[in-house]
Amino acid sequence: MKLKEKRLSTETLYSGSIVTLEIDQALLPNGDKAKREVVRHPAGVAVAALTSENELLFVRQYRYPMAEIVLEIPAGKIDDPTTQPLENAKRELLEETGAVGYSYVPLGAFYVSPGFTDEIDYLYMCRVDHFESQKLDEDEFVNVERIPLDKAVGMALNNMIPDGKTQTAILKTAMLLQMEK
Amino acid sequence: MKLKEKRLSTETLYSGSIVTLEIDQALLPNGDKAKREVVRHPAGVAVAALTSENELLFVRQYRYPMAEIVLEIPAGKIDDPTTQPLENAKRELLEETGAVGYSYVPLGAFYVSPGFTDEIDYLYMCRVDHFESQKLDEDEFVNVERIPLDKAVGMALNNMIPDGKTQTAILKTAMLLQMEK
């Protein structure tokens, strides 16, 4: 079956500080036309950082769209498109937790919801070398937690960690370390 | 640290067939105000369906926002908010692949990107009982593939499966089956 769609037109309805909303007309493989609602996003990074005691670093922060405090690995947007994902991952880890990491390993790209948004998150794992002080933005409020990796795996498998990128990063980290043994 | 934000006002800028864009003013824990861009989404479902030969069912479909053909487990939106996620999961699996499943196990909720959208996906695993014919919508174009679970795990760990919910569902399915042994 032919799958590819072709852009016929695009209109930007909103361009904000995080998202841009585009309404496009697309040509479908069968020749029909369809509307496509697309939320453009600058991409993000997230880091599974392991301490020397094999604890993962987490942050709890209020996520306004969910109206709840969510447990996540340190993460953030790529604000400057000329920077590399890895630089941003190191920066976010330091800002949110004060940790300086080493032995970064890419855990791959992560499309968050390819039906409506082009957001890609770049996931990493690393080891924590040492801690400095957090460098939070003025309007950023997060609490840092450490959870043993084994416990975090159990939490992910028992639906106690609803954040998607965090589930994936925990499970990938655990499986990759298991394979090293 | 106090984390919670409070909604001060909300304005709906766009209400489409998939997403609704709201621009809110929020009160931060420190008393400052901030703009919040929120993309409301009706929630989704996704299913890791295993054949009797331990192959997972996948679909390849063109994802317009990414402008590429993406390999994913069967998934879709919850179009009718009065229906349960599990019903939708069974329907999507049948529509996209023709498979009828049994022994459904919830793999938990999955927040796709809680910084800007309230989309929650509900993940499931199941066994395939038998196949009927696909029931695709007129404007839906997907190719079905079967991949052995072990191979899918390797692909997820080697960054050959960029879709986030698909990575998580593969890894959870593999770990849960491993624990059953």
CA A48/CA A105 separation, integer angstroms: 10
Q: What pLDDT is attached to residue B44?
A: 98
Chain A interface includes B96 (CB < 8 A): no
Residue A154 lies in a domain: yes
Query: pLDDT class for A175, splitting at 50, 70, 90?
Result: very high
Are B33 and B50 found together in one domain?
no
Q: What is the pLDDT of residues B7-36, one digit of tens each?
A: 999 999 999 999 999 999 999 999 999 999
| Res A52: pLDDT | 97
Residue B85 phi, psi (nearest 5) = -55, -40
Above 90 in pLDDT, residue A129? yes
Instruction: Tell me what pLDDT residue A29 has.
Output: 94
For residue A132, how many other CB atoms are within 10 A of its CB?
A: 10
Question: How far is Cα of residue A46 from the mean position of the Cα atoms in its chain?
Answer: 5
Residue A138 has pLDDT above 90, yes or no: no
Q: Is A118 on the interface with B (CB under 8 A)?
A: yes
Do residue A168 and residue A107 come from a single domain?
yes
pLDDT band with cut points at 50, 70 and 90 for residue A156: very high
Q: Is it the case that residue A139 has pLDDT exceeding 90?
A: no
The CATH number assigned to the domain holding B131 equals: 3.90.79.10
- Residue A138 a catalytic site member: yes
A54 plus A99 within the same structural domain: yes
pTM of the model: 0.96
Q: Please indicate, yes or no, whether residues A10 and A79 belong to a single structural domain of this protein.
A: no
From A129's Cα to the closest Cα of chain B, the distance in A is 25
If asked whether residues A84 and A63 sit together in one domain, one would say yes
Owner of token pair 């491993």: B178
pLDDT digits (tens, 9 = 90+) for A78-104: 999 999 999 999 999 999 999 999 999
Question: What is the average per-residue pLDDT within B158-169?
Answer: 97
pLDDT over 90 at A13, yes or no: yes
**pLDDT score recorded for residue B148:** 98
**Is the separation of the CB atoms in B115 and A158 below 8 Å?**
no
Write the DSSP string, A99-156.
EEEEEEEEEEEEES-TTTB--EEEEEEEEEEEE------TT--EEEEEEEHHHHHHHH
* Shared-domain flag, residues A10 and A76: no
In a domain, A176, yes or no: yes
| Residue A138, amino acid | E
Residue B149 lies in a domain: yes
Closest-CA distance of chain B to residue A149, Å: 15
Q: How confident is the model at residue A36 (pLDDT cuts 50, 70, 90)?
A: very high
| pLDDT at residue number A137 | 84
Q: pLDDT value at position A47?
A: 98
* pLDDT at position B138: 81
Is B4 close to A62, i.e. CB distance below 8 A? yes
Bridge partners of A47?
A124
Strand partners, B26: B7, B34
Structure confidence at residue A1 (pLDDT): 82
Residue B17, in any domain of the structure: yes
Q: What is the 3-state secondary structure (H, E, C) of chain B?
A: CCCCCEEEEEEEEEECCCCEEEEEEEECCCCCEEEEEEEECCCEEEEEEECCCCEEEEEEEEECCCCEEEEECCEEECCCCCCCHHHHHHHHHHHHHCEEEEEEEEEEEEECCCCCECCEEEEEEEEEEEECCCCCCCCCCEEEEEEEHHHHHHHHHCCCCCEHHHHHHHHHHHHHHHHHC
Q: What are B43-99's pLDDT values in tens digits?
A: 999 999 999 999 999 999 999 999 999 999 999 999 999 999 999 999 999 999 999
Inspect the interface and report whether the beta carbons of B3 and A38 lie closer than 8 Å. no
- Whether the CB-CB separation of A123 and A110 falls below 8 Å is answered with yes
**Four-residue CA torsion sign, A174, B173, A157, B156:** positive
User: Per-residue confidence at B153, pLDDT binned at 50, 70, 90?
Assistant: very high
Residues A44/A121, Cβ–Cβ less than 8 Å: yes
- The whole-number pLDDT of residue A140 equals 86
**DSSP assignment string, A118-129:** --EEEEEEEEEE
What pLDDT score does A179 carry? Answer: 86
**Do B51 and B64 have their domain in common?**
yes
- The answer on A87 and A31 residing in a single domain is no
Residue A65 binned pLDDT confidence (cut-offs 50, 70, 90): very high
Sort out which chain B residues have CB atoms less than 8 A from A37's CB and list them: 16-19
Q: Which residue has the higher pLDDT, B180 or A42?
A: A42
Residue A27's domain spans which residues? 6-40
Place of tokens 């479909």: B61
* Domain co-membership, A167 together with A147: yes
Q: How far apart are the first and last CA of chain A?
A: 43
Length of chain A: 181
In-domain check, residue A1: no
Who contacts A3 (Cβ-Cβ below 8 Å, separation ≥6)? A29, B60, B61, B62, B69, B141, B142, B143
Average pLDDT over residues B118-139: 94
Q: What is the pLDDT of residue A99?
A: 98
Assess whether B27 and B88 both reside in one domain. no
The amino acid at A151 = K
Cβ-in-10-Å burial (0-12, 13-18, 19+) of B117 comes to: buried
Indicate if the pLDDT at residue B164 is higher than 90.
yes
Q: Is residue A88 one of the residues assigned to a domain?
A: yes
Residues 7-66 of A with CB under 8 A from B: 13-14, 16-19, 21, 23-24, 26, 28-30, 32, 34-41, 44, 60-66
Nearest to B56 by CA among B46, B66, B64, B65: B46
Do A33 and A52 fall into the same domain? no
B1 within a domain of the structure (yes/no): no
Predicted local confidence at residue A60, as pLDDT: 97
**B137 pLDDT exceeds 90?**
no
Percent of chain A with pLDDT over 70: 100
Question: pLDDT tens digit string along B93-107?
Answer: 999 999 999 999 999
Average pLDDT along chain A: 96
Q: Is residue B155 part of a domain?
A: yes
* Number of folded domains that form chain B: 2
Given a cut of 90, whether residue B181 has pLDDT beyond it is no
Q: What is the mean pLDDT of residues A12-24?
A: 97
Task: Kindly state whether residues A29 and A66 are assigned to the same domain.
Answer: no
